[in-house]
Structure 1
Amino acid sequence: MSRTMTAAHPMSQVDSAPQPLRWLVRWTNAELDVLLDSLVDEELAEIPELAVARNDPRGAIRDSVRIHLVALSACVGQPPRDGRMTMPAFIGKHTRALARRDMPSLTALLRAFEKIHAGLWRRLAAALREGPYQLAPEHRADVLELASAHLFAYFQTASKETAAAYAAERALLERRAMSRRAEVVTAMLAGSMSPIEAEHALGYALNATHIGYVAWTDSLSQLDRLDAAVTTLIEHMRPRQHLSVPHGERSVYGWISCHAKTWRDVLQDGSLPEGIHCAWGAPQQGVGGFRASHLEALEARRVGEAVGLTKGVKPVLFDDVAVASLASRDLASASTFVHRQLGRLASEDESAVRLLETLRVYLEELASPTKTARRLHVHPNTVIKRVERIEAMTGRSVDPASLSLRVAVELAALASPTHDV
């Protein structure tokens, strides 16, 4: 290469630079090919993950290094402000192109900047001492000082702007991909897309057993916590596959396929941060199961919110609220049924609420005062007295085998507080 100024670096920019920086531009222009070869060799040796291009990986790295050497000279005419300078527009364009391929990674790129910076400085210092570009000792200090400051300002700015542009482009691509996944899921749930097409678009096998879930948060400020909480919960299940898509501003729809049946144990043993909620359907097979388990998750949320289960820290499972779900499709009839079975016990005063909870546990424990007392942390005699009060209020004896009574207790939280019986 001729040792003259190239067209890539207009003379006006170089002429406006301090004399020591003009030496830097002349040196990089003249030694460009040699610099590229040596810098690329070092990068490949120390950061092998840079060699990700399918065709001619060395050539791809060389092109990237060349772009930054050109930009380094292009910035020579501007004094850095607070250690920063304005990058040429082609640097951002190049960074976004790399981000769209996700090759190489941002971490590898930033390490490459460090290596280029260090490699250039070593070669610059050597060129000042010997060879055709050596300077007299009295001039070296000025060149080395200004050139070092220019290198530092350039690579500091390039690192920051590359990190920002790369992350922004990846985030944009992820939003687009997520939006596309949401469109495909909506079409799948509506039955307007073939399973084969959906599988290809989602990367999620539909010929499997699916467990659908819906997760949501109380406020937009908790969205990051929502993603983290759901991810942690699902990681403990070790699913074979996991699909999630945003729904609205504060909720997520998702599905998993698990190897084992431990998913229920994970949900029952796990807890959620305050303000984070999730509801789960039951395992269902195939394309129809994908839709059915999702609908169950939505229903588990509806019932869970209605009866106050989502106020706690536990996920809501459809199987745990299935009776209330199925029996509350007609809320007016359900309320009539509850008040007919429970009478004043279905009111909202504190005493009735305490007695209703006692009755619920008493029925679950098959009318055992001892087991009921243990769960409620009271004396068995207290349980017996409460059951007597319940019988007085309802006008009938408590029969643990009565399906009507058990269903009424399950539906009580869904019934309207006052009702003409």
Structure 2
Amino acid sequence: MSDPETEIQGIAALLAERQIELTAELVDAFRDRIPELPTDPALVELLVGSSGANLETFVHLMRGHIRVRDVHAPTAAVEYARRLAQRGTPPSALLRAYRIGQQLILQWAHAQITGGIDDPTLALRTTQLLTDTSFLYIDAVSEEVVQAYQEERERWLANRSAVQRETVDALLRGDRLDLAATEVALGYRLRQHHLGLVLWTAPGAGDLTDLTAVERTVARIAERIGAAGQPLFVPRDRETAWAWLPIGRTGELDAAGIDEVLAGGDGQVHVASGRSGAGEPGFRTTHEGAAAAHAVAQLGQHPAGRAVSYADPTVRAAALLAHDLPATRRLVLGALGDLAEDTDGAARLRETLLAFVEERESYVATAARVHLHKNTVKYRVDRAVEARGKPLGEERLDLELALIACKWLGPEVLVSAGGLMLVTKGYPSKSGTTAPG
């Protein structure tokens, strides 16, 4: 009389006979159902080897040639996991392959049991034994390949990041480099247009060492603006990363897409962007712009959900003003008078006045821009001029620069409600005396 162990031996023998055929079916299913898996021939060949080796090892387990505690992932399976880690394929795709493989082999084996065993009780016991054995195998092997994936991913990222950082630093310094070799080292094409980004999180809000949140943000931005390829992502420290988005030959992009991506996030990741640039020189200049915009955002009160763009002329002006904050503070105080106070009321007047100046003193255009009634705009402009203490047309350039400085640099250049400059030491206060140091 037969028993489940004997029946399992027969199924194992049949599985060994059909190993090549079943391996091909598994690989086809993986390619159809797991789009994240690489499809280039070298990786597909390694997937075939991994799948076949797993079937062979499972057969040995079913036949009792090895014990569960002695089961190890086949060499080909471990190598495939490492290669996926190098490619950046998510580990969920690897685990899904094992689950799908288990499902398909169990379906095939259950069909053999149903067609070959007449006794329902024996068929059920054999099915239970086969299912238990398959789960023990998948549990042992999947844990090992995931560990190999994680170790390789950490090693690969560390090595790749070190090479990329050194290469990027050399590019930004303007060193003479072999262009083709540089592109290989970066994994990024320099002979196109680029958009540079600086990304950061607030202190304690996130940790860039795992790369996930910031890399996802870069990937979403690249997809939203229609990037021409994979971005270049270079972590700098625990809270800051640099990125370059490839935007093809024309350099055209939908910059509003960056704000849309940020608005849909959790507000933990902030972005500063440069102006698009072409080729190796553009790679440098777009980053320099993004870095300048980042410096402006760090000094001021950057709103969450919006990027700071160096393409904005007021950001470019603020970046220049930030180079000499003491002089900018004096400019603000001299140009704005009481309007330079760090209060909510003064902030509303400054916002309206800046819009009014930029809209060529049109009450109608300003009202549409700031979403206020025209009469409200006129009231605020009149109040702002009164607080300033001099006519709108007097020292007009100083006025506009001072308003831009207040908008982007905030408390760094404003005057406290009590009359002394904030964050000053040894510079004139509102009253003209020297602030205490």
- The counterpart of 1:387, out of the listed 369, 381, 384, is 381
Where 2:323 maps in the other structure, the secondary structure is: coil
1:349 paired residue number: 343
Q: Following superposition of structure 1 onto structure 2, how do residues 13-412 of structure 1 map, counting pairs within 5 Å?
A: 20=3, 23=6, 27=10, 32=13, 35-45=15-25, 47-48=27-28, 62-74=52-64, 86-91=68-73, 95-102=77-84, 107-123=96-112, 141=121, 144-191=123-170, 194-218=178-202, 219-220=205-206, 224-241=212-229, 242-259=231-248, 261-267=252-258, 271-272=262-263, 273=265, 274-308=267-301, 310-320=302-312, 321-399=315-393, 402-412=396-406
Q: Any stretches of 5+ residues in structure 2 without a counterpart?
A: 32-40, 422-427, 433-437
Contact 2:73–2:144 (Cα < 8 Å) also in 1: no
Contact 1:36–1:62 (Cα < 8 Å) also in 2: no
Q: Identify if the C-alpha distance between structure 1 residues 202 and 154 changes in structure 2 by more than 3 Å, giving closer, same or farther.
A: farther
| 1:416 Cα offset (Å) | 4.7
Measure, in 1, the Cα distance between the counterparts of 2:94 and 2:379: 69
Q: Any stretches of 5+ residues in structure 1 without a counterpart?
A: 1-18, 78-85, 130-136
Measure, in 2, the Cα distance between the counterparts of 1:398 and 1:114: 76
| 1:150 Cα offset (Å) | 2.4
Percent identity over the alignment is 20
Contact 1:324–1:410 (Cα < 8 Å) also in 2: yes
1:8 paired residue number: none
| 1:269 Cα offset (Å) | 5.6
Contact 1:211–1:256 (Cα < 8 Å) also in 2: yes
RMSD: 3.6
Where 2:252 maps in the other structure, the secondary structure is: coil
For each residue in 1:90-149, what CA deviation from the matched residue of structure 2 results, as whole angstroms up to 9, or x when unmatched?
Answer: 2375532231244996544443333333434444666667xxxxxxx7xx955x454432
The residue identity in structure 2 corresponding to 1:318 is Y
Contact 2:274–2:311 (Cα < 8 Å) also in 1: yes
Measure, in 1, the Cα distance between the counterparts of 2:260 and 2:111: 59
Larger Rg: 1
The residue identity in structure 1 corresponding to 2:292 is E
Q: Identify if the C-alpha distance between structure 1 residues 146 and 373 changes in structure 2 by more than 3 Å, giving closer, same or farther.
A: closer
Where 1:205 maps in the other structure, the secondary structure is: coil
Measure, in 1, the Cα distance between the counterparts of 2:344 and 2:94: 60
Q: Identify if the C-alpha distance between structure 1 residues 60 and 275 changes in structure 2 by more than 3 Å, giving closer, same or farther.
A: closer
Query: Normalized against structure 1, the TM-score is what?
Result: 0.76
Query: Normalized against structure 2, the TM-score is what?
Result: 0.74
For each residue in 1:187-227, what CA deviation from the matched residue of structure 2 results, as whole angstroms up to 9, or x when unmatched?
Answer: 12321765433311222111222111022334128975544
Where 2:73 maps in the other structure, the secondary structure is: helix
